[in-house]
Amino acid sequence: MLKQPTPRLEREELEKYVRGFIDRRAAFLQLVRGHGSPLYALDKSSLIARGREFLGVFREKFSDCQPYYAVKSNNHPEIARILVGEGYGLDVSSGEELQTALDCGATAIIFSGPGKVDSELELAVENSGSVTVMLDSLGELNRLERVAAGSRQPVRAGVRVTTVESGIWRKFGTPLEKLAEFFQEAEQCRHIQLRGIQFHISWNMNPANQVQFLMRLGEALKDLNPEHRARIEFLDIGGGYWPPRGEWLQSAATREGMLHTALANAAGSPFDHYKNAAVPLELFAGQIRQALKEHLPAEMQFTLFCEPGRWLCHEAMHIIVSVVDRKAPDLVITDAGTNAVGWERYESDYFPVINLTRPSLRENECLVAGSLCTPHDLWGYTYFGDDIQPGDVLLIPHQGAYTYSLRQHFIKPLPRVVVMNEPGGPAPGPAGETA
């Protein structure tokens, strides 16, 4: 581990990133003047730009491609509505998310996830014109047939196949070796139209794992009954594409940092930041296209489904907090806690805390803590600014993915959501959760 250390986040890249938000400080401060603090700032222009970029890249590589936004990555309804308006379908994982998708006017919905209960299947059947159910097991296939038969309603479906047959990931989908059995069993289900295959691999810094699984899938498809293979209208390759800036880490989250911690050593300096690099989206699309061409039966014609979530919404939401107490030069308390993101994220992940009130590219050591009654309520170990005092407005940028969806009503109220509408300023709204 120590001979192969995690790459450092270069200072030039970090300062360029921080400078971009300092240049936009007036827009963020305007939000606080109009709506108070703390806030989730939903960056509509960034979301639209990312949505159009993903569509452009994948539709350049694939003539027949339909992306579905993974609602679980950020379940604020406005994000779903915006992306539906940009041509996306919605990927949902529960009856609650399915109802959100229907309320957003989505007409292309895929319903994934294990353990769908009968009431969720009933909602899918009621809206079968818009919903494709991704079946997770033979048991779920038979339950969906029973529900659909009761309504005398045909349902379009796909089968999710397992990408890892051991450990905790085997909870998802059907083993690849049982794919033929699944299609044979589906033939007996008169109300289910099995038309596709789905798989998903998470946390992809590059497409290597997706390409490797497509090799395995290709072999399974070659062994499939040709009549069953001819019925496949879509292949859903899931999501998991990491955003282009890569994964930024605190010292303690690196492999060598974990080793030092286990040995009761200091994990590293608070000024040490690390980066696991991610490849550009064009490389994902290009290598996946090549793998499909090389490994899948040549006669197969299908629509490519994909489920970007993190890649789309990561940059689409920021968190704004204010300092309420300066307990020491290197310790401040803010007006919001990390219940706003739902987990102790900043002990492992690194995002710069930017003082918008006293902006500077100078990074200072300071424990920037939240106001919850837990020592793990932490925004960061440093901040960028000339100083930090009560009343200062702090920005934690790019908090769109797997934060808002995981928020918890724990001790303190949650921030309001304000939709940014640059360059004209925030969109007006009611005094409820979203403004």
Q: Which residue type occupies 312? A: L
Which pTM was predicted? 0.95
DSSP output for 328-382? ETTEEEES--GGGTTS-GGGTB----EESSS--S-EEEEEEE-SSSSTT-EEEEE
Residue 159, classed as helix, strand or coil, is strand
| CA pair distance 237, 308, nearest whole angstrom | 10
Cis check: omega of the bond before 280, within 30 degrees of 0: no
- 241-286 pLDDT, tens digit per residue, is 999 999 999 999 998 888 888 888 877 889 999 999 999 999 999 9
8 Å CB contact between 204 and 210: yes
Q: What is the mean pLDDT of the chain?
A: 94
Q: Which CATH architecture has domain 45-243+278-313?
A: Alpha-Beta Barrel (3.20)
- 367-402 pLDDT, tens digit per residue, is 999 999 999 999 999 999 999 999 999 999 999 999
Fold of 11-42+314-420: Lyase, Ornithine Decarboxylase; Chain A, domain 1 (2.40.37)
- 133-155 pLDDT, tens digit per residue, is 999 999 999 999 999 999 999 99
| CA pair distance 175, 323, nearest whole angstrom | 51
Extents of the domains making up the chain = 11-42+314-420, 45-243+278-313
Among 351, 346, 345, 320, which Cα is nearest to 334's?
A: 320
pLDDT of residue 264: 83
Query: Could you give the residue ranges of the DSSP H alpha helices within 107-207?
Result: 118-126, 138-151, 179-187
